């Protein structure tokens, strides 16, 4: 349950959340992950609990999950939510948002992040992905890229950066699409067609009809931001 005192409690527990207001009713919150027992205890003290299926999970998985939910809780607090339940977990492990709220959650090995919106119907996706080693980037690229997308690799500083960024961007897109299409899809249902480095923007084209919202030929924007350890991508497609 989200309580208005979350900000004060987080400060008292030395949990350093970072916030970014994307619009007056859309906020992004991130938190660096510490895999210690104290970090997990502090998140519990903040009111974040584990679902039953994670009670026996390794501590690292528990910390990652709880950090993501803590970001959601802080975002809801900033949006002045009161007595609102945190998202439950759906049949496909997707977050089930309470009525009137929309968003997306992710984490890398070092950071958890969430976007939460209220009174703003639309499609939201966020992903945080640590930089892939070159050998892994090359091994997964045939499953991530179609032939035409490889041409954009020259716009990036190295091949691993290119694959990691596009992989993460497509993950963000899939999260945004899922509430509308209700199925898992492969990486070829969207195709990179433009890179705008100054704005940190990628444009993808949907390659097949998936739903009324995501139809063949639709262009969607994904914004990316690079960090030392990882990359963050996000899509906000408001209706």
CATH of the domain at 73: 3.90.470
Q: What span, in angstroms and rounded, lies between the C-alpha atoms of 16 and 75?
A: 13
Q: Bigger pLDDT: 2 or 24?
A: 24
The pLDDT confidence band at residue 84, using thresholds 50, 70 and 90, is confident
Domain encompassing residue 191: 127-238
Residue numbering of the annotated binding site for CoA? 61, 69, 106-107, 127, 171, 175
Residues 166, 112 within the same domain: no
Residues 199, 229 within the same domain: yes
Instruction: Look at residue 1 and tell me if it is in a domain.
Output: no
Residues 98, 160 within the same domain: no
- Say if residues 104 and 115 touch (Cβ distance below 8 Å): yes
pLDDT of residue 153: 97
The last residue of a domain, from among 73, 102, 120: 120
| Mean confidence (pLDDT) of the chain | 92
Q: Report percent pLDDT > 70 for the chain.
A: 94
Residue numbering of the annotated binding site for Mg(2+)? 127
Q: What angle do CA 142, 225, 214 make, to 5 degrees?
A: 60
Please count the CA atoms within 13 angstroms of the CA of 188 that sit on its side-chain side.
6
The last residue of a domain, from among 88, 120, 152: 120
Residues 92, 179 within the same domain: no
Instruction: Look at residue 140 and tell me if it is in a domain.
Output: yes
Tell me the pLDDT tens digit for each residue of 9-61.
Answer: 666 577 899 999 999 999 999 999 999 999 999 999 998 999 988 999 999 99
Residues 97, 34 within the same domain: yes
Tell me the pLDDT tens digit for each residue of 98-134.
Answer: 988 999 999 999 999 999 999 767 899 999 999 999 9
Residue numbering of the annotated binding site? 61, 69, 106-107, 127, 171, 175
Please provide the size of the chain in residues: 239
The last residue of a domain, from among 64, 89, 120: 120
Residues 46, 146 within the same domain: no
Task: Assess whether pLDDT exceeds 60 at residue 93.
Answer: yes
């Amino acid at each position: 349950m989200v309580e208005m005192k979350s900000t004060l409690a987080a400060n008292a527990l030395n949990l350093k959340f970072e916030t970014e207001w994307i619009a007056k009713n859309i906020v992004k919150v991130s938190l660096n992950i510490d895999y210690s027992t104290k970090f997990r205890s502090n998140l519990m003290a903040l009111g974040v609990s584990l679902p039953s299926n994670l009670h026996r999970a390794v501590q690292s998985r528990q910390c990652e999950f709880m950090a993501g939910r803590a970001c959601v809780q802080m975002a809801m607090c900033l949006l002045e939510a009161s007595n609102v339940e945190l998202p439950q977990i759906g049949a496909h492990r997707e977050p089930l948002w309470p009525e009137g709220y929309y968003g997306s959650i992710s984490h890398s090995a070092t950071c958890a992040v969430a976007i939460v919106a209220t009174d703003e119907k639309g499609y939201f996706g966020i992903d945080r992905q640590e930089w892939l080693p070159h050998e892994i980037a090359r091994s997964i690229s045939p499953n991530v890229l179609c032939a035409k997308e490889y041409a954009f690799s020259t716009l990036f500083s190295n091949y691993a950066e290119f694959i990691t960024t596009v992989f993460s961007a497509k993950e963000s897109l899939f999260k945004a699409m899922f509430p509308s299409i209700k199925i898992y899809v492969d990486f070829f249902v969207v195709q990179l067609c433009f890179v705008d480095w100054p704005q940190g923007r990628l444009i993808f084209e949907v390659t097949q009809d998936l739903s009324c919202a995501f139809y063949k030929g639709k262009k969607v924007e994904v914004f990316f931001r690079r960090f030392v350890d990882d990359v963050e991508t996000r899509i906000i497609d408001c209706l």
